[in-house]
Structure 1
Amino acid sequence: MMVVAKQVEAFIREFFDQNPLSQIGLVTIKDGLAHCLTDLGGSPESHIKALMGKLGCSGEASLQNALELVHEQLNQIPSYGHREVIILYSALSTCDPGDVMETIQKCKTDKIRCSVIGLSAELYICKYLCQETGGLYSVALDEAHLELILEHAPPPPAIAEFAIANLI
């Protein structure tokens, strides 16, 4: 987990260097539940501090619970904002309380782009999630490959094509 933490820390720092007005929120998936590690915010140091103190593996992962939590947070962003999720997923399955396909369609409808970086093996559900929402799917082969994938994580577009233009 320290390899992942180190690469995520570098990603957070680089993200805020390139996108100083953007916000990031961190969510963990453990024991079948999704927990909000940090709320959406623009302080890289607070995200890194929270990340370093709370990493660990336990129990089953629920992709649906994570997507529901993220959907709830990102749905509050106005239509001119960009809603994107980058999931680092190390589990070999997902143990969901309901229909994960329905949750994926909800993300697609609300224009939440989901990208997944697999840390163990390729999973059909993760690939399907990325295809449906317009995200990218990659499986990291080693630490150097993970670093390369995170360096090329999709940057936010200049403006969303579906955003409403207003003059104030």
Structure 2
Amino acid sequence: MESPSKGYLDVGHLELGGTIQSHSSKFIPSDKAEFNRNMLSRNKIISVCLLLLVITLSGCSRINSAQGWSGILVDDDRLILASMDGHIMVLDKNTGKHMWEPDLMRVKEKDEKKRAAYGLPAVSNGILFVGVYSGKIQAVEVDTGRTVETEV
């Protein structure tokens, strides 16, 4: 009797009229099966990563986007925040109360789309500096929120 071809498993014999019939069935060698399982796992991982990428990038769209903050600066007893819609806020670090009147200061920029604050605010010599989308830097007194005219 001939041995089955490579990749086939001899699964039984049947004798009919004095002749031996051999039946073979295709099987996957264990190393190939392991390879297929690894590929399936790899494909699942890639699919999950792509899904996360799409979700992350969709969060960057401006459709129905929530207000965001560019970052928080802790300066002495103050928390300083600048929002993506152009608001600057200073809170007391211990109580959370607003330190300015009015509570928020709006970045001085005519075009509303260019008011967004980017990067962390910075404080030097009592002046708060906030970089905005238009490429300008907004300067305000950190204690009062009053705009400071300055050349940068």
Task: State whether TM-score is above 0.5.
Answer: no
Output the TM-score relative to the length of structure 1: 0.21
- More strand, by proportion: 2
**Which structure would you say has the larger RCO, counting Cα contacts within 8 Å and 6 or more residues apart?**
1
More helix by share: 1
